[in-house]
Structure 1
């Protein structure tokens, strides 16, 4: 397993991060335990979850479940040594109750959400506490004051963001600097061969401020996982996915042919492409089985030639570079 500093911090994390969104939903608890055991044995030390993970939110109640955190907590409780072997990351923002203040990034909700996550995770500290989305209705002075308090109390160590725009990252970091805080060390963004918008402004902002990038949905919701051979199976048989496949079929055919010529699985090539980007610290994988976890490790050993990278750009073109040169002079 390869490891890299999380942004400009001194913390080293595995280049594959174990995403646990499926725990409690598509993956039952015994299987989740097996996946976590296998991940640690493979050298994966970066576990990512969120307070809201563990099943679909109930539209009628706008309430999160916290089941994924509870499963991780019960796994940690089985062996006291496990906690010190992983970098544990979770998130705050999504609705976790029916109250008006049971969501978003007010100081009130941040404090309560953190304490609830600690209880579910059965730990006394969170290594990376991530804002799951931007909350432009709450001033940064309030957000950073709440985070500072949690740091002083030893409840969190590092702070990250997720789904932030480039200017949100800059605004957040400048506000943190004014308070003599380290600020953000990571950003989780939607990023894969089919979704490259963050190359315009998010990635340049991360590079400028020394913030690590953690892509989520690296396989584009399964589209980059050899979908043409699996169109009749599982979630890929759904109407919405079928429409996406039909729209992208020419590109998918070229992509899967290229992967076959390389002698590699499409999912592994998609992960390897992300890991070739110097902005990427680690990419999140969300295995539903131990077999899927084992397969993902292959990406760490794949080296893509410049010719192959150019071909991937031709199949899945990005936005044309960084802003403003991508659309102006």
Structure 2
């Protein structure tokens, strides 16, 4: 396993992290489509990941309405000390008017609930799961800052924020002297490269760790799908179209992905994850699995060294159109002095 420094902290995290969205939720939608793994199956995946050197495990309170955290807390047991445990707060977790969001009231309550379900006295990385337009960022940060000072949180991060939203939080942390985000968790894949425009450059400038979710675009890049349909009717992408993918552009990406995979004699999924790991600014890629074989295949992506030709071919097939104002501002090298 390879390790990368987590942003500007002194902590190192495995380049592959274990995502746990497949844990729990049997009989309830949409979680039954994702995995609905029980304690025994989850324990096998956690053990496999830890044996491979994974030291970052990511979950969220909303996964399977809290059942995911509960399973993870039970199966970790004494292995809790071997991992950096990450979870999230924001989503609705009850029927009350305040059972969601990023208010001090809910952040404080949700954190206590997560600690109880995870059977731990602290969260290593506590992440807001989205942006709350109703709660001042200062209120959220103050609540998180209090929890850090109490020893209930080690570091804080954010997921699914636009660059301007992240900068709003970072600015408030600096001006108010409050705990600051050290990481961002974002969707990124060959089929979804939106973050390259503003979010990744912002993270590099602010020295934030970037953790990637869904590097296979919800299974679209797994090798199970092509223009003629799917080889696995039980695959999540066959049952739920998430995250959204431009299919016409996506099929060209899949064709190139298959070609590169054939050159190396590996799966398309392994190539897709290896491409994500090779991108500048990516700290760790979060992978989930329903079966041990899937997880083993995903973990092997760290050993796949794509050639310059591979990367160029994949980049060309997946390149998004240049948005405004980027095409109006020109490339950074255009600012370099002319040599005569």
The question of a shared fold, defined as TM-score above 0.5 by the shorter chain, is answered with: yes
What does residue 319 of structure 2 align with?
Answer: 317
- 1:293 matched residue in structure 2: 295
The equivalent residue for 1:3 is: 3
The aligned residue for residue 268 of structure 1 is 270
Corresponding residue for residue 104 of structure 2: 107
Structure 1 counterpart of 2:336: none
8 Å Cα contact 1:6-1:281 kept in structure 2: yes
2:173 equivalent in structure 1? 176
Query: TM-score, normalised on structure 2?
Result: 0.87
How do residues 1-329 of structure 1 correspond to structure 2 at under 5 angstroms? 1-25=1-25, 26=35, 27-54=37-64, 65-77=65-77, 80=78, 82-228=79-225, 231-233=230-232, 234-235=234-235, 236-238=237-239, 247=248, 248-320=250-322, 324-326=325-327, 328-329=329-330
- Check 1:232–1:163 CA distance in 2 against 1; reply closer, same or farther (3 A cut): same
- Count, aligned residues: 314
Q: Unaligned regions of 5+ residues in structure 1, if any?
A: 55-64
Distance 2:57 2:164 in 1: 28
Q: C-alpha displacement at 1:244, in angstroms?
A: 6.3
Report SS of the residue matched to 1:116: helix
How far apart, CA to CA, are the structure 2 residues paired with 1:164 and 1:88? 21
| Root-mean-square deviation (Å) | 2.0
Residues 98, 312 of structure 1: alpha-carbon distance in 2 compared, 3 angstrom cutoff: same
Q: Residues 118 and 126 of structure 1 are in contact (CA less than 8 Å); yes or no, is this contact kept in structure 2?
A: yes
The question of whether the paired residues in 2 share the 8 Å contact of 1:319 and 1:326 is answered with: no
Post-superposition offset of 1:327: 5.1
Alpha carbons 1:199, 1:318 under 8 Å: kept:
no
* 136-145 vs 246-255, greater mean Cα deviation: 246-255
* CA deviation profile, 1:243-284 (whole Å, cap 9, x unmatched): 969633344223212321232211111111111123111000
Which deviations, in whole Å up to 9, do the C-alpha atoms of 1:169-206 show, x marking residues without a partner?
11111111113345111111110000001101000110
Unaligned runs of 5+ in 2: 26-34, 331-340
Query: Is 1:223–1:245's contact at 8 Å kept on the other side of the alignment?
Result: no
